[in-house]
Structure 1
């Protein structure tokens, strides 16, 4: 009898075990960007729960590992190496470019799929670490394209200036805006860099007024743009001011005061309004969570990975990455497909106006 029990135990141990599929969220869960990190975590966790409730992936459950990258390159690289050691097959995350790029090198080396819903810096995919690196966050340059396209269409015969603060954030946005204007046959009368961090911008405001500028696009950070807007307001200028996503915050309203009224700005598209997101948005709200910001893009990142995995000829990272690269996938943020460098084709930005202290969608 003992011999039979031992044989039965040995046979049981020899059977292939059902293995969980490990994925990870890497995000800033502390520090100044922790709100965005928590949004990312909430979106992926909900997607994991929904997939597991439907039976998982090929009968296996998804297990979510979560780490705080601190928006620091060294911390992110260490966490990426831990993900490789755990056997995570997919990583979703990051807000800060330095952290994402440090981690991307680890993922590329270890053949791990990486999709970022939050990094907009062009460098992540312009200097792509490998074919398993993707993003569904739109780029800073693409934000400029949206702004320039809107300006060209709305103010086709106006005198337009495009200015930036010379930063790695502002310059690509301004370059994108100028390129979009040129594509539409509009040449900016002034394309230059202003001094970031100046105490006042009265001289800049005077130059814009002397040029008979009708519209100025300012690509930089909110403190400087608030001061420029105030200088124009103080000079009784009617110049239309358009800014990037940095001025789409309540903090900008506090900085600019009355000068914020009527300003236009580009900001992330509100994916909650799309038909594709209706059911998931309702489910989030029923659980007491409002799916703002990066929640839905993070949910979508897991959706598109699963869709690509389901149609890939094999389940390894290289095969799934090739399927992602060539395919088009439905998601809660709409159809997702990618450029050759792994960056999303989704425009991802809309145009808004500050009106009575609230953002009003224009396009």
Structure 2
């Protein structure tokens, strides 16, 4: 596509540029800046803005300043492709995005074809790297087969004598995570009593909750996002179903508790080790908090994605894609997530997943 047309498309999809100097190095973050998952878009935006601010304050990349472009895909696959094309047209050198796997997977094909490095901070579906369209696609988060293994084994260990239901929202992320969790649960010798899909975006899950009650379910695993999971949990409590809820990393937002209130007490979820607790991140965490931003969830993952790219560009003494990708493939990068490397699939070699539990409006590591 011609750049002029793509830049016009930027306005249609709500993309904005922080700063106006097109001569500087443009990078982007793209995710759900609007829509029901906008809390995660806000996390990504906060992480990206702080990363750009800190890198520029330290002299930029090879003597040039970074400028940040924000892309809004609303976690919609078609919109993600349009946003990807638009970012390419604007001349961005890298994209810290997207958030939803269902967006990152189709968008990655655009970036691979057009020679733009993508480093997702949050897309966990294995297909993102297993079916990698080119060698310039990376992620700094884990994978659902890793997350599902932890979740499935935990369920089998802690709730083997309970009636377990597994729900999914039919999305690339939710269904993929539910399938991986079920696989490892079944391999451990435990069979779920109910496997059920639901439709994301609905408000009334009464019929679903009734099925859970009729099956005598005591533990509900949700492969999906906090918005629907929180509503399902509230409606479970309203109908007198006192089952434990468990999910994955999409519950890692304070908005979950805003939806559930006290009904969220005791909810379990898997997520990577909390980067806010890393000594390497302490100064940056403090800086976020001074600004009134809690760097929860994927704030620091987005920061780290940009950090790793910037360090690779410095090592390459260039922001050209081939040179930077070569450094990303061979280098080790000190980030707010700790020291990280990428394997030959573009997956990160960081520690895997651990269990968390919600208590009194906050989440922290699960204590048995």
TM range (shorter): 0.7 to 0.9
Tell me which residue corresponds to 2:158.
155
Cα distance in 1, alignment partners of residues 289 and 259 from structure 2: 32
The answer as to 2:47 corresponding to 1:43 is yes
The answer as to 2:293 corresponding to 1:289 is yes
Tell me which residue corresponds to 1:187.
189
Tell me which residue corresponds to 2:312.
308
Cα distance in 2, alignment partners of residues 26 and 246 from structure 1: 17
Asked if structure 2 preserves the Cα contact closer than 8 Å seen for 1:161 and 1:217, the reply is no
In structure 2, the CA distance between the partners of 1:312 and 1:232, relative to structure 1 (3 Å rule), is farther
CA distances 1:72-123 after superposition (whole Å, capped 9, x unpaired): 3444333333333333211112223343333322211111111111333333
Cα distance in 1, alignment partners of residues 285 and 195 from structure 2: 41
Tell me which residue corresponds to 2:24.
20
Cα distance in 1, alignment partners of residues 323 and 115 from structure 2: 11
Asked if structure 1 preserves the Cα contact closer than 8 Å seen for 2:194 and 2:215, the reply is no
Root mean square deviation of aligned Cα: 3.5
SS at match of 1:330: strand
Cα distance in 2, alignment partners of residues 357 and 54 from structure 1: 36
In structure 2, the CA distance between the partners of 1:257 and 1:63, relative to structure 1 (3 Å rule), is closer
In structure 2, the CA distance between the partners of 1:130 and 1:161, relative to structure 1 (3 Å rule), is farther
Tell me which residue corresponds to 1:332.
336
The answer as to 2:71 corresponding to 1:67 is yes
Query: Per-residue deviation at 1:278?
Result: 0.3
- From 199, 205, 209, the equivalent of 2:207 is 199
In structure 2, the CA distance between the partners of 1:92 and 1:248, relative to structure 1 (3 Å rule), is closer
Cα distance in 1, alignment partners of residues 246 and 337 from structure 2: 26
Tell me which residue corresponds to 1:299.
303
CA distances 1:159-192 after superposition (whole Å, capped 9, x unpaired): 3665433524444223333454577xx3213375
Tell me which residue corresponds to 1:129.
133
Asked if structure 1 preserves the Cα contact closer than 8 Å seen for 2:93 and 2:116, the reply is yes
Query: Per-residue deviation at 1:348?
Result: 6.0
Cα distance in 2, alignment partners of residues 274 and 251 from structure 1: 23
Tell me which residue corresponds to 1:165.
167
Aligned length: 333
Tell me the TM-score normalized by structure 1.
Answer: 0.75
Tell me which residue corresponds to 1:54.
58
Cα distance in 1, alignment partners of residues 212 and 166 from structure 2: 12
Q: Which has the larger radius of gyration?
A: 1
Cα distance in 2, alignment partners of residues 259 and 36 from structure 1: 22
Tell me which residue corresponds to 2:266.
262
Tell me the TM-score normalized by structure 2.
Answer: 0.74
Moved more, 244-253 or 171-180: 244-253
Tell me which residue corresponds to 2:108.
104
Cα distance in 1, alignment partners of residues 68 and 252 from structure 2: 32
Asked if structure 1 preserves the Cα contact closer than 8 Å seen for 2:329 and 2:342, the reply is yes
CA distances 1:263-282 after superposition (whole Å, capped 9, x unpaired): 43334643212111001112
Asked if structure 2 preserves the Cα contact closer than 8 Å seen for 1:162 and 1:178, the reply is no
Cα distance in 2, alignment partners of residues 69 and 299 from structure 1: 19
In structure 2, the CA distance between the partners of 1:217 and 1:256, relative to structure 1 (3 Å rule), is same
Asked if structure 2 preserves the Cα contact closer than 8 Å seen for 1:218 and 1:225, the reply is no
Query: Per-residue deviation at 1:322?
Result: 3.4
In structure 2, the CA distance between the partners of 1:69 and 1:207, relative to structure 1 (3 Å rule), is closer
Cα distance in 2, alignment partners of residues 313 and 252 from structure 1: 43
Cα distance in 1, alignment partners of residues 340 and 233 from structure 2: 33
CA distances 1:274-298 after superposition (whole Å, capped 9, x unpaired): 1110011122223443323322111
Unaligned runs of 5+ in 2: 1-22, 199-204
Tell me which residue corresponds to 1:6.
none
Asked if structure 2 preserves the Cα contact closer than 8 Å seen for 1:159 and 1:189, the reply is no
In structure 2, the CA distance between the partners of 1:38 and 1:155, relative to structure 1 (3 Å rule), is closer
